Amino acid sequence: MKIYFRYILKELVQPFLFGIAAFSAIWLGVDTLFRLAEIYATWDISVWLLLELFALSLPQVIVFTFPMATLLGTILGYSRLTGDNEITALRAGGFSMRKLIVPALLIGLVTSLGAIGINEFVVPWANHRYARHVHRIETGEELPRSQSDFFLTPLDGEYDGPDFVLYAREFDADTGEMTGVILQEFREGRPHLLIEAEGALWRNEDWEFYGGRMYELRPGERLPQMEFDEYVIRADLGDPEAMAELDRDPDEMNLRDLAGYIQALREQGREALEERVLWHQNLAIPFASFIFALLAAPLGLGQQRGGSSATGMGLSVVIIFIYYGIMTVADVLGTQGTIPPWLGAWLQNLVFLTLGLILIYRTGK
């Protein structure tokens, strides 16, 4: 790594870390801490449990603050280099403006990938554990593992489609019982068998369906095969414990689980617009770090000598306000179906990506 690259990288990392601390403190102060203070004042919980709830809130906060920190760190870092005439010296040494922007883009890319990883592997677990703790605090009981309208759709990696689609009107993981059950099995990626039953019981490590009928599925046809009083199915649904863990709220799912949940909803005739917007947002929001680096680098390089940190902070706040304002409007439009769900999640990124590319083009001229 060349000396100039390391030097600029160092100048950007310091304000980036400051941005993480500053924006996380703001986010926690206006939302999380008030919520936890209310829980602590209302319910008799230990300080250790309160600290655990605080720690479980951090992953989601970090994902949201990474883009803000990237924006602030890039503007402040390049503004300082410009104000001290170091950018002028580098330009005189033959370095182009576009070349000087590369360190910021590297930070933005690494931050985006890191945020996607946190959002995929840490946030769903933390949100689920947080929900379980809060439910136990407020009710004195564990989070119920029985529910109405239970869906389960594991994916078949070989054929890039569902392995089966299970629906139960009522599901109780504690008793190992389902009622109003519909099971659609797939073979080589295509519907193969449909089972409708009054219910199913978990017995001897198998699901035993009762009071039902079975249909063979062919293109455009549903052929009756048999009626049964009791029938042990072949599909590996998993035990009640595993099924209860798989069924979570959308904000407790990773991308793969959420995609399966969306597919199950759409197979039941529902558009699942809100869930589809959320799936794309789980990528769009972390990727905003790279977009902000692309936008902030030419803004920082374009600062006039003597520009203060307060100016960079103010500019960052204005950009963040506009970004999240567009995101809120696009979210509503995508959820209502006015625009496609993917556009409802990515619209603000596309706007700022276009603006960033225009600024980089003008800076390089």
Can you spell out the DSSP letters for 350-363? HHHHHHHHHHHHHH
Residue 22 has pLDDT above 70, yes or no: yes
**End-to-end CA gap in the chain:** 26
- In the chain, the percentage of residues whose pLDDT exceeds 90 is 47
Q: Please list the residues that pair with 358 across neighbouring strands.
A: none
Q: What are the CA-CA distances from residue 363 to residues 17, 296, 303, 309, 347 (Å)?
A: 26, 12, 11, 21, 24
Provide the pLDDT for residue 197. 93
Lowest mean pLDDT among 86-90, 120-124, 355-359: 86-90
Residue 218 has pLDDT above 80, yes or no: no
Tell me the domain boundaries of the chain.
Answer: 3-130+275-364, 148-251+260-269
Provide the pLDDT for residue 334. 96
Q: What are the CA-CA distances from residue 281 to residues 123, 293, 330 (Å)?
A: 14, 19, 11
Of residues 237 and 321, the one with the higher pLDDT is 321
pLDDT per residue over 33-82, tens digit each? 999 999 998 988 899 999 999 999 999 999 999 999 999 999 999 988 88
235: left (phi over 0), alpha (psi -120 to 50) or beta: beta
Residue 163 has pLDDT above 80, yes or no: no
Provide the pLDDT for residue 185. 85
Q: What is the CATH number of domain 148-251+260-269?
A: 2.60.450
Provide the pLDDT for residue 72. 93
Angle at 341 between CA 338 and CA 342, to 5 degrees: 130
> What confidence category does residue 120 fall into, taking pLDDT thresholds of 50, 70 and 90?
very high
SS3 for 261? helix
- In the chain, the percentage of residues whose pLDDT exceeds 70 is 88
How much is the mean pLDDT over the chain?
Answer: 86
